[in-house]
């Protein structure tokens, strides 16, 4: 990472210099006491105050000018950059925080719905199956959108688990499975549903299935 080249005289021939000549060491910038400022950011569903330092630099892998943001945290400094030099430090920090939800969606599509594991050979069938994975992921989130956490997930059977943790996508899928099985049970005749043994077996199978 290099500094921004200084303005050149018009008499110089050839294209303008794209990269600076002075090397930038991020760790040295992070421990330097000058240049720090505080900003308000909305990250992870809450407003927080961040102590940051920002500057422009040139970076060959990014093919030119970038904006660098150094965030001072309790465990040390974190370093971010953006290929848009006009982006504000707040936009960069908030965008980085938002990436966690995108990564979680990729995880859920692959691990919960098994995207990429389907045993199909045709390339267009693979594309169609992946598209179907995205649709079922979206439809499940829409189904559980307005439902309270208590209705979706009951952690009484897992005392070691954090009871305050919000339901995951897998928890939502289990809740939909339970709802589907309950509807199937209710479709039975009244005489079958009144049997205590059948009810006990139903609740046992419900736990095993979800």
Q: Pairing between strand 76-82 and 64-73? A: antiparallel
Q: What is the mean pLDDT of residues 34-41?
A: 95
Specify the DSSP element, H or E, that contains 200. Answer: helix 196-209
Mean model confidence pLDDT for the chain: 86
Give the DSSP letter of residue 5. Answer: P
**For 149-198, how does the pLDDT look when each residue is reduced to its tens digit (9 = 90+)?**
888 887 666 666 666 778 889 999 988 888 887 777 677 666 666 667 77
pTM above 0.75, yes or no: no
Lowest average pLDDT, out of 28-32, 70-74, 200-204, goes to 200-204
Q: Are 69 and 95 in contact (CB under 8 A)?
A: no
**For 55-94, how does the pLDDT look when each residue is reduced to its tens digit (9 = 90+)?**
999 999 999 999 999 999 999 999 999 999 999 999 999 9
Q: How far apart are CA 54 and CA 165, in angstroms?
A: 35
């Amino acid at each position: 990472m290099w500094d921004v080249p200084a303005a050149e005289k018009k008499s110089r021939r050839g294209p303008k210099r794209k990269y600076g000549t002075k090397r930038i060491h991020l760790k040295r910038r992070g421990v330097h006491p000058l240049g720090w400022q505080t900003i308000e950011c909305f990250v992870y569903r809450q407003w927080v105050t961040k102590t940051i330092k920002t500057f422009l630099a040139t970076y060959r892998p990014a093919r030119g000018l970038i904006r660098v943001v150094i965030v001072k945290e309790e465990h040390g400094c974190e370093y971010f950059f953006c290929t848009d030099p006009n982006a504000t430090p707040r936009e960069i920090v908030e965008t980085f925080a938002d990436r966690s939800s995108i990564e979680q969606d990729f995880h859920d599509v692959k691990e919960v719905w098994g995207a990429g594991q389907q045993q199909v050979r045709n390339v267009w069938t693979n594309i169609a199956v992946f598209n179907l994975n995205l649709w079922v992921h979206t439809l499940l989130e829409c189904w559980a959108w307005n439902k309270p956490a208590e209705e979706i997930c009951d952690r009484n059977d897992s005392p070691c688990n954090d009871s305050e943790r919000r339901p995951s996508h897998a928890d939502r899928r289990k809740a939909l499975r339970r709802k589907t099985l309950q509807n199937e049970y209710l479709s039975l005749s009244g005489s079958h549903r009144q049997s205590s043994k059948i009810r006990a077996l139903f609740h046992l199978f419900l736990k095993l299935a979800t």
